[in-house]
Chain A
Amino acid sequence: MIRFITKRLLLMAPILLGSTLFIFVILRVAPGDPVDRIVGPNVTKEVYENIRINHGLDKSIAEQYVVFLKNLSKGDLGNSILQRRPVIQVVKERIGITLKIGSAALLLSFLLAIPIGTFAAIYPGKPLDYLLMTFSMIGISMPTFWFASLLLYFLSYRFRLFPISGYETWQHYILPVVALGMTDAATSARMVRSSMLEVLGLDYIRTARAKGVSEKTIIFVHALKNALQPIITLLGMKIGWLFGGSAIVEIVFSIPGIGLLLVDSIFARDYPVVQGTMLILVVFIMIGNLLADVIHAIVDPRITFD
């Protein structure tokens, strides 16, 4: 297992390098100049050029990339052009809030998706299946932004059950987590259903039934464990979604998380912040996928670490 993990970790290096290069170039090729957000209409050419030089923006993209890699090797993600302070510090302040919302939403999503998908699969083609899958289809079709706005309008604004915006108390987290978690549960529930249906049609389930094992034991002991394997794969991929999806709820509920920081930084062309945030995101996704593979291999003896 250690060999497997080491191999995978070593493979991460070129992926990481490739993704940093891709992000670096894309950002600089895109139209726009971060200095425009610092200076006003009345800036002199000298001051403008001085600011560009101070941030190394006068150098070629290749030179800038080499500097970026040199700094990265020392664990330095550079300084925000707009905020004039280390990117690490900026990201550190914001990442905790996003991780809280994202992980709570992921938990809620699985807690909803697993029973919904399972029950729909137990009664395929029956009214309960149609009912659950109709709800799931509504969830899939409904954009998170719209669902979050509806929750905000009715539950916070009209009925005053929850705070409208901010992140100070645990009550502030309920609606963002519900908005994010429920829309995701809709997709996951369909996946659990189809996986469960496949497992329930397998020979070992038929054998269990023939042996007279109770239906409850068949479903919850024998079938569910195997049906959940695709969910483990999904878990690895969901790490990226934690960031992307939370940007939407962060905007609606005015939560200063990393999603909102990324969106703001892209619009302001604050290259170092976008690079740093994306790099951390890539690392999270890679670690998530590695964890999913490791868990897969532990759970399913047919999969080896080789």
Chain B
Amino acid sequence: MKKKTFLLLLGCLLFIGLAGCSKGPATDTSITSPLKSELIIGYEKDTETLDTFKTSWFSDSLIYVYDRLISRDYDFDYKPSLATRWETSEDGMVWTFYLKDGVTFHDGTPLSSADVAWTLNRIIDPEIAAPIAADYSSIREVIAKDPLTVEVHLNHPYANLPFVLSSTSAGIVSEKSYTEKGNTYGISALNGTGPFKFVEWKQGDRIVLEKNDAYEWGPDWMENGGKPQIDRIVMRIIPEENTRMMEIEAGNVHVLRDVPATFKDQLSKNENIKLFSGDATKLVYLAYATDKTPFNDIKVRKAINHAINRAEIVDYLMRKAATVADGYLPPALKSEYFADSSALSYDYDPESSKALLKEAGFPEGFTTTLAAENTSQFTKLAETLQHQLKEVGIDAKINMYDTASYADMLKSGKQDMFIRLYSWPNADILDYLLLSSQFPYPNHSRWNDSTTDDLIKSAASSSTWEERSKGYHKVQKHLIEQAVWAPIYIPEMTIAVRNEVKNFKFHPWIPQFNDNLTLE
């Protein structure tokens, strides 16, 4: 009896164990032996949903599955996409878009202006509570005038509409498919007009797309506006960064998005891999609660700016995989960026810093806290800043938080000094982070200034892009003068690409894998 029980137990374990070693159900083994025309891309994180109406954080896959009315070319300029052209009414309140003819969804149904109107109206519908709705708050209503004409009616003149309509969330969804698929849409089904069709999403593992053979309506700025040269895209989720590096070096992954600075040296020595870099539309900055003593004193804020040696941080901490930040926006935003930021920014000058602290009534400096998220990048940055601030007499105790606890701490207003990163390709990030109406969160630096409010509101409601850019230049100038933050660096966006991938071109936002890219 005892022997039998023991054997039974062992047998059960053996069975389960062997089952564990059997082949997984109906999975494609091509990952381990990539097809020539299957591009495998490594990502750190998976997305939570592919339904654009239900999130603010979008998977790259949506760029390829959907088309938008407007696209952004390699110079980051706005260009026609599904809309061949558009015009604005004299008062700037109505934008009329003329759609391309002959465009079809992946299920073969033709794209009509009704789908465009439905997609955009659904985002702004308060009942839907789309997390991205705030981006579209300037839109009052979208009307399908005729099958190929769409009118976007605004609440106020809004020169930034091309940004909104070219963003990932503005991908045109098939109303019919969305309604038919119900809750499975965005999980096991997607229907767009983009160059790649959705095949499957194994959550936490991969998203698979295949080329849309019918595609012939790519934007003019692409060399190949027709169907993609590669057959499939497999987006693999590999959370551990060491594992991601090994996979590309071993040739199991063709492209890595966002290579960490610490791995740049290692990958640049590999002759099978090329690195493509450009300034990201991101900013890393040191902020402080400007409504609290001593940070409510402009002299203290300027002293902090003078105390930070940004060049040292970029050279040694970031290993030159970043550029020194002078202003409040990244230069990659081109016309929106205030070009005089560099001339007006605060040089590293510990003596001036000490003098300003003395003037502010802190001849011996002061004690404070410095908060940051507990990633390795920000832990090192916090330690470096702590050391640099100590040089001028500011004694900062470091407090590290996980992402969720950090947001909670900032909301509750417990912060003194803290490190932040934003990633946003538009000047309106300043609205979200610095308008007094955004107090206390996401206006986590607790900046409550009527001049900033007026300058931002005036810029945001401009009717032309040029006017808007000039308006935001004034905003940035004012913020530098007020030393609201201490900008530190703009991280580089580095993409690693294996040599088998041909015709890869760096795009400041998201790689365009359908543009003539081939695999050897």
A interface residues with partner B (beta carbon < 8 Å): 30-33, 36-44, 46-47, 50-51, 54, 80, 82-85, 90, 93-94, 97, 99-101, 103-104, 106-108, 110, 149, 152-153, 156-157, 160, 163-170, 173-174, 177, 225, 228, 232, 235, 251-254, 256, 260-261, 264, 267-269, 295, 298-299
Contact B20 A225 (CB under 8 A): no
- From B74-82, B257-265, B382-390, B400-408, give the one contacting chain A: B400-408
Contact B204 A299 (CB under 8 A): no
Neighbour of B2 across the interface among A101, A235, A299, CB < 8 A: A299
Contact B24 A47 (CB under 8 A): no
Neighbour of A169 across the interface among B23, B203, B247, B422, CB < 8 A: B23
B131 and chain A: residue at smallest CB distance:
A39
- From B223-231, B311-319, B426-434, give the one contacting chain A: B426-434
Q: Which residues of B are found within 8 Å of A268, using beta-carbon distances? A: 48, 404
Contact B126 A32 (CB under 8 A): no
**B173 close to A (CB within 8 Å):** no
* Known contacts A167-B205, A170-B22, then 5 further A-B pairs from the complex at CB < 8 Å, ordered by chain A residue: A40-B132, A100-B21, A106-B17, A260-B204, A298-B1
B183 and chain A: residue at smallest CB distance:
A85
Contact B21 A40 (CB under 8 A): no
- Describe A's contact surface by its main secondary structure: helix
Q: Which residues of B are found within 8 Å of A251, using beta-carbon distances? A: 239-240
Q: Which residues of B are found within 8 Å of A169, using beta-carbon distances? A: 23-24, 29, 32
Contact B5 A295 (CB under 8 A): yes
- From B53-61, B87-95, B106-114, give the one contacting chain A: B53-61
Contact A38 B131 (CB under 8 A): yes
Task: Give complex CA distance A256, B27 in Å.
Answer: 14
Count of B interface residues, CB-CB < 8 Å: 73
Contact B49 A33 (CB under 8 A): no
Contact B27 A168 (CB under 8 A): yes
Task: Give complex CA distance A253, B237 in Å.
Answer: 11
Contact A104 B16 (CB under 8 A): yes
Contact A256 B205 (CB under 8 A): yes
Task: Give complex CA distance A256, B36 in Å.
Answer: 26
Q: Which residues of B are found within 8 Å of A157, using beta-carbon distances? A: 246, 249-250
B13 and chain A: residue at smallest CB distance:
A107
Contact A37 B5 (CB under 8 A): no
Contact B404 A32 (CB under 8 A): yes
Task: Give complex CA distance A268, B404 in Å.
Answer: 7
Neighbour of A166 across the interface among B31, B48, B246, CB < 8 A: B31
Q: Contacts A256-B205, A299-B2; is A168 near B56 (CB within 8 Å)?
A: no
Task: Give complex CA distance A149, B240 in Å.
Answer: 10
Contact B21 A170 (CB under 8 A): yes
B404 and chain A: residue at smallest CB distance:
A32
B238 and chain A: residue at smallest CB distance:
A254
**B501 close to A (CB within 8 Å):** no
Contact A168 B432 (CB under 8 A): no
Contact B204 A94 (CB under 8 A): yes
Task: Tell me the smallest distance from the CB of A228 to a CB of chain B, in Å.
Answer: 7
30 contacts between A and B (CB under 8 A): A32-B402, A32-B403, A37-B404, A38-B131, A39-B56, A42-B134, A44-B133, A47-B133, A47-B134, A83-B48, A83-B203, A84-B51, A99-B20, A104-B18, A104-B21, A107-B13, A110-B13, A156-B246, A165-B243, A165-B246, A170-B21, A225-B2, A232-B9, A252-B243, A254-B243, A256-B203, A264-B204, A267-B404, A295-B9, A298-B1
